[in-house]
Amino acid sequence: MNITLNYESLSLGRKILMILDLKTKVDKLGIEDRVSRITKRSLKSEAKLQGLKMILSMIDLTTLEGMDTDKRVEQLCYKATHLHQEFPDLPNVAAVCVYPNMVKTASNFLKDSEVKVASVATAFPSGNSSLEVKIQETKEAVFNGAEEIDMVISRGKFHSGEYNYVFDEIAIIKENCGDKARLKVILETGELGDYDHIRLASEIAIKAGADFIKTSTGKIKPAATLPITLVMLEAIKDHYYNTGKMVGMKPAGGISNSKLALQYLIMVKETLGNLWLDKHWFRFGASSLANDVLMQLLKQKTGFYQSNNYFSKD
């Protein structure tokens, strides 16, 4: 299948004609077989310890609830910069991810730290709004200090076959992020159907200029899974081989324990290599994962299993 994309660039002021060669079919059995072998792997002792610390540094601590308050966002920011008292040498998490109206609060709190402020945008989580509104929302979030924008694609348009629309939307949002913010494109894989669709959406997002592709909003089940992430990693790999450009990956939603997170790391390393084992190119969107990793680290240190009662509530 060849898909022709016309993209009218705002900055260039002209139409770009792009022909996407989308013949790539995903080998479903191959993907699942590969994943099942990865899940049987086990990291122990020193390697596990390094892995756990790496996971911490890659977490986007997230609060995306209707009941979010300024205080709650501040509490999350505090947690992002003070993970655990007994471990002074722990890395901070990568970013704090909030709704656009909380960006100011978060960026005020985090202005002196390395932790980035990420904001969802484009009528998260449904994405059902006009392009003007989405652009406005993005601009506002960037203006208020968001260093990363997590946008959702229009799944309805995608399913109607309006790939042009999906592509243009991503490209326009990317232009509005400018050089101030990196763009993560949420495919919401739980609503896309089979692997071929996920592969297609990944390619559209990558070609349209995404800095990261991200699995899910966290509001739809199933959210991130290992096979879906592998399909997306393969799309990133092919893009890298073809163009030499790196694109980041962010699985989000449903990754709540360290064992699973370690398996994601193994998969990234074995699909994309060490270059991607860095918070600049790989993230976890999660809220309860950080506590589980801390509990594991403390288990390694003390020798006995920990309780949630002794860790901050998410």
| Residues forming the active site | 150, 214, 250
Three-state SS for 151? strand
Q: Are 198 and 231 in contact (CB under 8 A)?
A: yes
Using DSSP, state whether 2 is helix, strand or coil: strand
**Closer residue to other proteins in complex, CB, 216/287:** 287
User: Rule CB under 8 A: is residue 305 a binding residue for other proteins?
Assistant: yes
Which SS3 state, helix, strand or coil, does residue 96 take? strand
Which of these segments, 77-85, 122-130, 187-195, 300-308, binds other proteins (CB under 8 A)? 300-308
In whole angstroms, the minimum distance from the beta carbon of 67 to other proteins comes to 21
Q: Are 62 and 286 in contact (CB under 8 A)?
A: yes
How far is the CA of 135 from the CAs of 145, 165, 183, 202, 215, in angstroms? 16, 14, 13, 21, 22
* Using rule CB under 8 A, residue 42 touches other proteins: no
State the number of binding residues for other proteins (CB under 8 A).
Answer: 8
In angstroms, the CA 153 to CA 157 distance is: 9
Q: What gap in Å lies between CA 162 and CA 158, rounded to an integer?
A: 6
Instruction: Assess 307 for contact with other proteins (CB under 8 A).
Output: yes
Mask 247-286, x = binds other proteins (CB under 8 A)?
Answer: ----------------------------------------
Q: What is the closest distance, in whole angstroms, from the C-beta atom of residue 2 to other proteins in the complex?
A: 50
Q: Is 304 in the site for other proteins (CB under 8 A)?
A: yes
In the bound complex, what is the minimum distance in angstroms from residue 138's beta carbon to other proteins?
A: 40
Applying CB under 8 A, the residues found at the interface with other proteins are 303-310
